[in-house]
Structures are given as C-alpha cells and as structure tokens.
Amino acid sequence: MRIVTTANSLKSLHNLHFLRVTSSLPLPFKDKQQFETQPHSPTCSPDNDHIGKSTLAMDLASLLEEPKPKPKPKSRMELKRFFELRIKKRVKEKHANGKFHDLMKTVISNAETLRDAYNCIRINSNTLDAASSSSHDTSFLYDLAEELEKGDFDVCANTTSFSTRRGSVNKEILVLPNLRLKVVLEAMRIALEIVYKPHFSKISHGCRSGRGCDAALKFVCKGVLSPDWWFTVLVVKKLDAAVLEKLISTMEEKIEDPSLYGVIRNMFDAGVLNLEFGGYPKGHGLPQEGVLSPILMNIYLDLFDSEFCRLSMKYEGICGGGLNERDRFGSALRDWFRRQLDGDDVRKSSGVKVYSCRYMDEMFFAVSGSRDAAVNFMSEVHSYLRSSLLLDVGDQTDVLPCDGSHGIHFLGTLVRRTIRESPAVKAVHKLKEKVELFTLQKVEAWNYGTVRIGKKWLGHGLKKVKESEIKHLADSSSLLNKVSCFRKSGMETDHWYKHLLKIWMQDVQAKNVNSEESILSKFVAEPALPQELRDSFYEFTKQAEQYISAEADSILKLLPDNNSSTEHPVAKTEIVAPINAIKMRLLRYGLATSKGYPRSANLLIMLDTTEIVDWFAGLSCRWLKWYENCSNFDEIKLLIAYHVRKSCIRTLAAKYRIHETEIERRFGEELIRIPSTQETEKEMRNEALDVQAFDNDEALMYGIASSGVCLLSLARIVTQARPCNCFVTGCSSSAPRVYTLHVMERQKSPSWKTGFSTCIHPSLNKRRLGLCKQHLRDLYLGHISLQSIDFSAWKS
C-alpha cells in the first residue's frame, strides 16, 4: 500500500505511537484478562527494541489509502491537441540541417500517424468517445499506409464530384474527398502546421492558436493607435499552375520531400485541393474549403507578411521626417530599430506609422500620416500582390479617412472610429435613454388602455343591438328604429351590425389607419375620455419627443462649464455588428415579414419540437458569442428576445395549431434555451463558465467556431425498406430521417457575418443527407460544421 503523508495522518500516527509507548500506564480495559493479552510496551524491555519500530511500520501500513479523485474527462479539443502532439514528435525527429526530410514516407504514411489523423477527424465530427474508439473499424488505415509508402495511392479514385443541377446558368463542379483521402489530407495538414506555424508573422491571423477572428478584431481596436487612413484588400484568384509552382518552391526552403510535392500536384490535377483566394469567407466550415487550404494559404501569403515588414521599415524609418539627405538613411533607420526594440510606437522621425492585420486572404491596413503616404503605401501593396505573388486584387476600396461615420468592412463586421465620451456626456445620454424608455412605456400603457376600452365598446354595442332588436324596434322614436331602414330583409343581426360599422368607418375615414386597434383607440376610446386627460397626455409625449430628438449641441449645453473645457476629444475604434444585414437574412430565411415583424419558419414546421428549438437556439448562441464585444450588442440582444424567440414560438404555434400563449406555457422548459432580454447576460455567464481548455483555440476550432446555421427541411422518414445511416464522418448510427439542404444565398467574400451560412456551394443545393438526432443537434448548435458531412454517402 502507498504510505500517506498528509498532515492529519501523521498527527494521528504520532498520537497512536505515543499511546503504545506509554502503555504501562493504567488503561481503561474491561477486565484483567483483556489487559494481559495486550502487547507490552517496548520501553519496558530493552530486548524488544525492534518491536516498537515494527509496530510503527505496521501502523503506517495499516492506514487506509485515501481515495484518488477521479480525473476530469478531457474535452474534444484537449483530445485533438493530444493526438496532434503525438504527430509532432514524429515530425520533429525528421529535422536535420535546417530542413525536414521525407515526411511523406516516414511520418504521413505511418499507420499510427494516420490513426491519430483519423481520430482528429472524428473529434471534429463529434463521434469520438470511449465507447466507440475501441470498437470502430480502422483496418483500412494499414492498407492506406502501405499505398502511401509505396507511392501507389491514387488520388482521383478517392474523390467524388458534384455539379449544379440542370437549368443553372453557370455550371459549377465541386470535388470532395472520400474518407481515405480525408485522412491523408488531415495528416498532411498537421505535419505542415508543425513545420510552419512557429515561423508565421505576428500580423497573420486565422487557423492559429491565439490568433483567430476575435484576436484580429481586438488588434484592430486596441493595437492600431491613432490611425488617420485605412483600407482593406481582398485577393481573388483560384489556384492555378503558376501559383502552385511558386507555392511549392517556397515550401522547398523548409521541407525536402519530392513525394509530398508529388501528392500535392496530384491533388491539384484531381481538383480536390480546393484552394481559392477570395470567392467565399474562410473559416466558416463551408464544404468547398479544402482541408489543406488554410495552411497552404498562410504559407503562401507569409511572403506578403515579410514584404509588409520591409514596407513598414521604408515608410516609418526612412521616408520623410525633417532630416537632410545625407543623414536621412542612417539615423532614421537606426531610430526605427531602436523604437522597435523599446516597443515605442510614437512617431518620431518620419511622422508615418503603418499597421496591418491579415486574416487568411482578407487584409486590413491603417496608416497614421498624410493621405499621400497612405495612397503610395496602398499602391505598393497592390503592386506586390499582382507582380510577385501573381494574385488579383478584388474590388478596390479607396483610402478612407478614419474619422468618417461610415467605417470600413472587415471580417464580416463594421469597424469605425468614434469620439470617446466624457463621464458627463455619458450621464446626459443615459438620462436621455431613460426618458425615451419611460416615454415608450407610458405610450404603450395608453394604447393598451384605449384599445381595451374600444374592444369593450364594440362588444357592448353588439350586445345592445341584439337586445334592442326585440325591445326597441317597436318604439318609433328610438335611434335603432330610425336606422333600421338600411337593413335589408333577412339580414342577420351580426351582419347588420357589421354593415353599420362599415358605414361608420367610412364616415371617420378609417382607411388611412394602420390597424383595427388604432381605429378603436383613436376614434372610439379617446373621444370619450376627458379633454383634460387627453391634452395632458399629448403634451407629455410632445415634450418628450422634443427632448429625445434634440441636437447634440443643445444637450451639451446642459453640462456645467462646457464652454470652458479644454480637453481634446479622444477617439476610439469600435466593432459594430451588421444589424441591417442580419435583418435582411431574417427576411430571406422566412423569420420576418417585409415590415420586420417575426413570423413562423415554414420549412421548419415538419421538424420535431426539440429540433425546431435547437435551430433557433443555435442562431441565438452564435450571436451571443460572435457579437459579445460589439458596441451595439444591446440591439443584438433585442433581436434575440424579439425576433428569434417570437419566431420560434410562432413556428411551434403553426405546427400544433394552438395559440402562442399556450405554446409558451406548454414548452416553457424548451424555450428557456432561447434567452429573453433579462436572461441574456445570465446565459452568457453560464456559457463562459462551461468553456473548457482549448475550446476557444482558433487552431483547433477552425471551421467550427464560425460556422453559420444552415436550413434543413424534412425530406422523408427512414423505413426498413429504405434504410439510411448518418452521413457524418465516423458515425455508424442509423438516421431516422432524411433532410434536404437549402442553399439560401451566395454571398461572395467579403460578406457580412450574420449567423447564417452565407456561401454554401450551389452544387449542394437540394442535396439530401441522413443525420442522426445527436448530429442534427450538433449541426444546429454549432458543435460541428458541414465539413464533417460526407455528401458522397449516397453514391457509395
């Protein structure tokens, strides 16, 4: 047994040994016989010194061992990091003389490497667990390893092609790998990342640990100091032979492996490499983005990152600056190096500071200095991309001033500069918002009360008509008798009453009113209220509107000593969520009407209740995670509480054909997952506590963390006559249903990040796929992406 050395255990042992040593003292034994049977103290006899020592050892050994705490199970991404580290050890062993040698035949073709790569694929698909890892069939990996080692692996035989359906204007073809080729691509990706990731520039973001989309936007907000001009560049080009050869020549500087380059060329010839600059947003889990696309793109564009370092030296250390021609080069360049070593970003000599942030093929640039310097810098960037890297530049955006209110589009969001408000101005604006909220509450209460009065008037009038039809028609002086001449013979009382209301509505010109409730409020209830009450309410709303819509200058006049303030306004960079683009997507996906009101999603009605709630919950979770640091996050929370939650309730109401209040009562536990306005902050805190290690690592979560929700409709129920298994890679479960994938839009990069899948390849439109319940839920909630689905399962 293991000896326990805790403080409490040692203390108890010391006390026990002390009692044994002092056993000659009178002890409270029950009888004399029991006392005589006890072992005597070793101190009583000098011949028994060893007995005391052995007794202490026996006491130490007899103590119960403390139970070990159960180890915490590893998360998905921790397991993925574990498998990648195992491959890293094998790759590092092949480094010699500044290069890596024979990675294809010694590392990638290793059966253990292929098994680790296959486990990484299953982790991305959320199919790897303790129960299935031992029983899953991996015998094909040994045959695959043998083919790769001998050079007999056929790339074309392990691909599947999809094309757009008939009737399409432009026929597009998408080539996707099967499972065997996916394993090879994953092993190559891990090996290449091990070689190149330590050498990438700090301006490079995307598919890197600690340098994801959030890190890029954070650098733009806090790392870019006092910019005067900015612009973005998007390179656009499909991989061709010239770019491929330049890429391979760049890779040969660190890797010496003709077999590896031969496999890459075969993949390019088969069309399965799927490397395209521009065209669609990267990192969104789209099926058309190849497995090797992120690392190969970063390797190729790392050449530009090095060029940017040279340009920054030129513009910051050499250009301009008040030095004469003889001393300009030496002293300015020396000063630039000194400032870089000291971490000083203050412009000293040249008056120019350039910044860059690159996320895959989307680039952001900012310049502190004159407009001429910014224009010259942009022209040199375009020139290098075209001439040296053989790439095309997308729709060119002109150099824009940073102080404009329009901002600039980067990574699916809007980046803009605003003036940082002082505490006094914030207090005034907060008061203004409170007045606006208080006014809205009072107007809603007024409208609710007047509409209720109008409805009661309407019901009371119909009741009186029915009663008066019997009692007062005989009275020639009654009003009902006078208007009865308009009543046709055989006309029912309800019909006649509606006819009278129609005449009355024409008289008050109610056609210009938006709704029936407005008619009851404005033309029935309010005229019956006291004049003083109406005048008081309208005067209150008039004064509140004037205060809310007042100009900023008039608000600032309320501040004390505003004219004597000598503080200069401080600008800050903020990220803004694309609210208008999100509302347009809600309309396109059928979640909102043309007037902006929430409605039921007709394509989701045939799904189960939990699946419908999962779809809406996945959309709200993406918004909470993506736009948490945006300046207009409050508007996102209102969209979740109003549009998403209300649309989900109305979808369930249309499914079961019951009232919305009954839906909220019956499915209250399920609807909790779509937080209301009050529950949003609590939901975000709970999600932050549930995040485990590596779950926010961009390198491990690339393609999953930014994947948008897709729209699936029920195609058919699986029967024994027509069985179907789950299409997710590595899943052997049966699929109870078959779904149809709908490609709702085709946004070209750069596109707005709206929470929906923006650019699924058109060849996959209306494709049917089988999914088990667990992976349908994972797809909706953003735990897996469309890259985990094997679209060739029908053909196999």
Q: How far is CA 65 from the centre of its chain?
A: 47
**Token pair listed for 55:** 């007794």
Whether 635 and 651 have beta carbons less than 8 Å apart is answered as: no
Q: How do residues 337-396 score in pLDDT, each as one tens digit?
A: 656 655 554 444 457 899 999 999 999 999 999 999 999 999 999 999 999 999 998 776
Residue owning tokens 């695959």? 144
Pick the closest to residue 281 from 409, 404, 408, 473 (CA basis): 409
Helical axes 111-124 vs 76-92, angle rounded to 10°? 150
The two tokens of residue 758 are: 């923006």
Residues in the chain: 796
The arithmetic mean of pLDDT across residues 762-775, rounded, is 92
Q: Is the dihedral of CA 146, 152, 155, 158 positive or negative?
A: negative
Looking at residue 438, what is its pLDDT? Answer: 85
pLDDT per residue over 180-204, tens digit each? 999 999 999 999 999 999 999 999 9
Q: What is the average pLDDT value for the chain, to the nearest integer?
A: 79
SS (H, E, C) 25-51: CCCCCCCHHHHHHCCCCCCCCHHHHHH
Which residue has tokens 């000896």? Answer: 3
> pLDDT digit string (tens) for 589-646?
989 988 888 999 999 999 999 999 999 999 999 998 899 889 989 889 888 888 899 9
Higher-confidence residue: 390 or 279? 390
- CA Rg, the chain, in Å? 37
418: left (phi over 0), alpha (psi -120 to 50) or beta: beta
What tokens does 35 get?
């006392």
**CB neighbours of residue 8 within 10 Å:** 8
| pLDDT in the model for residue 268 | 95
- Interacting residues of 129 by C-beta distance below 8 A, sequence separation 6+: none
Q: What is the spatial distance between Cα 127 and Cα 727, in angstroms, rounded to a whole number?
A: 12
- Lookup: tokens for 514: 């938006």
Highest mean pLDDT among 204-208, 261-265, 539-543, 627-631: 261-265
Place 734 in a pLDDT band, splitting at 50, 70 and 90.
very high
Question: Which distant-in-sequence residues (6+ apart) come within 8 Å of 221 by Cβ?
Answer: 415, 572, 573, 574, 575
Q: Which amino acid is at 229?
A: W
Beta-sheet pairing, 204-205 with 353-359: parallel
- Phi, psi dihedral angles at 516 (to 5 degrees): -65, -35
Non-local (6+) Cβ contacts of 81 within 8 A are: 694, 697, 700
User: In this structure, what DSSP letter does residue 61 have?
Assistant: H
Instruction: At 219, list the tokens.
Output: 């650098």
pLDDT at 364: 95
Query: Phi, psi (5° rounding) for residue 503?
Result: -65, -40
Look-up: residue for tokens 């007999």?
152
Which contiguous run of DSSP H or E holds residue 567?
none
pLDDT tens for 476-497 read 555 555 555 555 555 555 566 6
Between 184 and 326, name the one with better pLDDT: 184
Say what the pLDDT of residue 154 is.
93
Check whether 157 has a pLDDT greater than 80: yes
Count CB-CB contacts under 10 A for residue 653: 17
For residues 246 and 249, give the distance between their C-alpha atoms in angstroms, rounded to a whole number.
5
Query: What secondary structure letter does DSSP report for 416?
Result: E
Dihedral over Cα of 385, 390, 394, 395: its sign: positive
Lowest model confidence (mean pLDDT) among 88-92, 275-279, 440-444, 642-646: 440-444
Computed from CA positions of residues 81, 85, 86, 88, in that sequence, does the dihedral angle turn out positive or negative? Answer: positive
pLDDT attached to residue 549 = 73
Contact 582, 639 (CB under 8 A): yes
> Can you say whether the dihedral through the CA atoms of 72, 76, 81, 87 is positive or negative?
positive
Report the sign of the C-alpha dihedral through residues 401, 402, 403, 408, in that order. positive
pLDDT at residue 318, rounded to an integer = 56
DSSP symbol at 476:
T
CB 75 within 8 A of CB 692: yes
Contact of 766 with 165, CB cutoff 8 Å: yes
Structure token pair of residue 404: 């404009």
Residue 10 — pLDDT band, cuts 50, 70, 90?
very low
Among candidate residues 208, 214, 216, the one with its CA nearest the CA of residue 628: 214
d(CA 703, CA 123) in angstroms, rounded, equals: 13
Q: How confident is the model at residue 38, as a pLDDT? A: 45
383 strand-pairing partners: none
Instruction: Please give the full DSSP string across 158-204, using - where no structure is assigned.
Output: GEEEEEPPTT-SS--EEEEE-HHHHHHHHHHHHHHHHHHGGGS-TTE
